[in-house]
Structure 1
C-alpha cells in the first residue's frame, strides 16, 4: 500500500486576488484527507503589478523569457508564497518537517495553447529554500510537450473527491464539477468514472474587469451591483455566439480571450448583470459538448458566492433536468479546492502518476509532470 503524504497546495488564480493555501493528506490516488485551508489576499499595489505582468508577458515567445518587470515580479510573488506558507504553518501548529511536499502553481501570465506556450511565473527552487520543504512546480508544461492544452489539471482531483464523497446521495450521475474562477472549467464524471474536462468560458474575469474599470472595486461582492441591473440580450448574445462555444474541439482559455464591454455599451449595473448571465450561460452552453447530459452540477470557486450567477445557473440547469449544488452542500470546500488539488497533484507527480489525460487536456496519452525542487540539506 502506497504511503500517505502530507502536502500543501498553493494556488494564485486568474482572478489575481491572492494566495489560497490548503493541506491534504493523500497517496495521490484514492486516499484524500482534507485538512485546514486559508487565504491570503494581495494588496492593491501588488495586484497592479500582476496586471502589468500580464502586459509584459504578451511579448514572450519562449517560456524562460522574463521581459519588462517579470523577473522582479516572479521573485516577489515567490516570496509572498513563502510568507503565506510560514504563516499557515504557524497558524496550524505545524513545522516544515511535518510537510512532505508543497505543490506550487505560481501565477499564469500567458497561456497560448495553440502555440504550446504556457507560462506560470514562480521560482520553485527559491520557494524550497525559503520554506525548507520540497516543492513541485511548473506542472502544466509537460502536458503541452505531449500535445495537450495545459489545462485543466484539476479533474484528477475532482474524480478523487467524487469517489470519496461522504454523502453521495445528492450526486446524481452524470456529475459535473464546475470551478468558477477567472476562467470557468468543468469536469465530467460519468457512470464509468471516465473523465472529460475543459475550460467552459469566462468566469469572474469579465465581471471583475468591468466593475474595477467603472466602479473602482476589484469585484462585485455578493453580486450586489449585478442585482440592480438587467440582462442586455444583444450584449449577452455577442459573447455567447463566440466561436469558442461552437468549435468541435475544446480548448483552454487565456483571460484575454474574452474582453469586457466598452463603457458605452452598458450602465454599471446592467453590464455586471449581463456578464453574470454570460458566466452562467457559458457553462451550460459548453456542457453541450459532453458525452452525456449532466444531472448534477457541483459549483466551486469564487463564482459560487455570487447569488446572481448561481440563480441563473440553477434556472438554466433546471430547464435541462439538472440540479445545482455548491461544493459545501456535499461536504467540500469551494474556496480551497484548487489549492487542495495542487497538493494532491504534487504527490501524484512524486509518484510519476498521470496529471492529465486525453479526455481532459487533449494530451496524446496520460502523462505526469512537474519539476521537483529539493529543500536545502541541513
Structure 2
C-alpha cells in the first residue's frame, strides 16, 4: 500500500507496542527503537492496571449477552482511552514527541477467537486511539491470517525468532491467560502454537475463593496438594489437548464453566479449594511440558515471558514438569512483562514496511500475509 505518512514518520525507527491479554489484568506498553539489524532498544515501558468495571465488562463480553454490539463498542472506546494514557506515559518517560513515533501497534482485547468458524474478534477503537495520541495506529493483526485459512494466532513466533534465536534448541513460552510456545531449533523455521490454559484458571479460581486477582507467587497453591486423578481427568476429558499444531484457543473454550463442568463430573471426593489450585498449577505446567516434548523433544532450555513468569510457584512447576532449565526472558535482556508489547511494536514496524509477518507453518494460513490495518492520525 502507499503510505501517506509525513517524511519524519516514514524514516522514524520509534514504535510503540500495546498489549492487553487474555488475563485482562492491565495494559502493557513499550516505546522502542527498532533499527534494522539491531536488537530492539526499549526507551520506556508502562504498565497500567485494568479498571475494575472495564475488566468485568470485557470478561462478560467473552460470552453471549444482551446488547453486545453497543456494549462492545463502548468497552472498545474505554480501552482505547486507557491505551492513550499508556502512550502519554511512554512519551513522557522517554522524552519523545508524538510526531517522532512512526506508529503504534495495538492488539486490542480478544473476546472471541473462533478460527474454526472463520472469525476472531479483538475489541479496539484504533481510530479513537489515533485521534487521542496523534500517532498512526496499526491494529487488527489477526483477521488477515484467518481470512487466509489460518488460526490468526500465535502472532509472536517470528518476533521471538528475531530476538531470541540461538544455536541450540530453545523454547520461548508466553504465560498469559492462555499459554503459547515458540520453538526455535537450529536450521529450522520457527514453529509455535497455543498449549492450553495458563493463568485463566489460576486467576479465576483464586478470585472465586480468595477474592484476590491472582495467586501471588503461587503461595495459595503451595498450601494444597496436586490431586493426580483430577489432573488426569482434566487432561483426558479435553480433546483439544491432543490436537496437532497449528492450533490456538482462548476463553471460548477454557473458561470457568469448563472447569466447573469437570469438577462436577469428577468421581472422587470434592477436593479442597487449595488442592484444586495446586492441581490447576500443575495442569498448566504439565500441558506445556507435554506439548514441548511432543513437538520438539530436543529443546534444551525454556524462557518464559508474560505475567506467569512472575509466579515463582508456577515457574517451579514448569521446571519440574519440563526437566529443563526454565528462566524468565529477563536473562536474555528483555523483561518478561515487556515481551508481548514489544512484539506488537515489531509487528507494527513489519506492517509499515510492507513485510509479511504471518508464518503459515505456525498458523496454517495458505501463505504469508501482511498483518494489520492502518488508522492514520
**TM > 0.5 between the two?**
yes
Aligned ranges 1:49-64 → 2 under 5 Å: 49-56=57-64
Cross-structure match for 1:72: 74
2:312 is equivalent to residue 317 of structure 1: no
Cross-structure match for 2:267: none
Cross-structure match for 1:15: 23
Aligned ranges 1:117-266 → 2 under 5 Å: 117-163=119-165, 173-241=168-236, 242-260=238-256, 261-262=259-260, 265-266=270-271
Q: Secondary structure at the match of 2:173?
A: strand
CA contact (8 A) 1:358 1:364 kept: yes
Q: Secondary structure at the match of 1:336?
A: helix
Q: Secondary structure at the match of 2:69?
A: coil
Structure 2: runs of 5+ lacking an equivalent? 1-9, 265-269
Partners of 1:200 and 1:23 in 2: CA distance: 29
Partners of 1:28 and 1:231 in 2: CA distance: 48
Q: Secondary structure at the match of 2:159?
A: helix
Distance 1:109 1:374, change over 3 A: same
Q: Mean alpha-carbon deviation: is it higher for 66-75 or for 298-307? A: 66-75
**What are the superposed Cα offsets for residues 150-193 of structure 1, whole Å, 9 maximum, x if unpaired?**
10001111011124xxxxxxx66211100010000000111015
Cross-structure match for 1:303: 308
Cα deviation for residue 271 of structure 1 reads 1.4
Partners of 2:100 and 2:196 in 1: CA distance: 39
Cross-structure match for 1:166: none
Cα deviation for residue 245 of structure 1 reads 2.2
Cross-structure match for 1:34: 42
Q: Secondary structure at the match of 1:55?
A: coil
Provide the alpha-carbon RMSD of the alignment.
Answer: 2.1
Distance 1:137 1:29, change over 3 A: farther
CA contact (8 A) 2:54 2:75 kept: no
CA contact (8 A) 1:152 1:197 kept: yes
Aligned residues: 358
Using the size of structure 1 for normalisation, the TM-score is 0.89
Q: Mean alpha-carbon deviation: is it higher for 70-79 or for 264-273? A: 264-273
CA contact (8 A) 1:152 1:360 kept: yes
Cross-structure match for 1:167: none
Partners of 2:40 and 2:332 in 1: CA distance: 15
**What are the superposed Cα offsets for residues 240-286 of structure 1, whole Å, 9 maximum, x if unpaired?**
22222222343100223124433774322111111111111111111
Distance 1:55 1:29, change over 3 A: farther
Q: Secondary structure at the match of 1:81?
A: helix
CA contact (8 A) 2:17 2:31 kept: yes
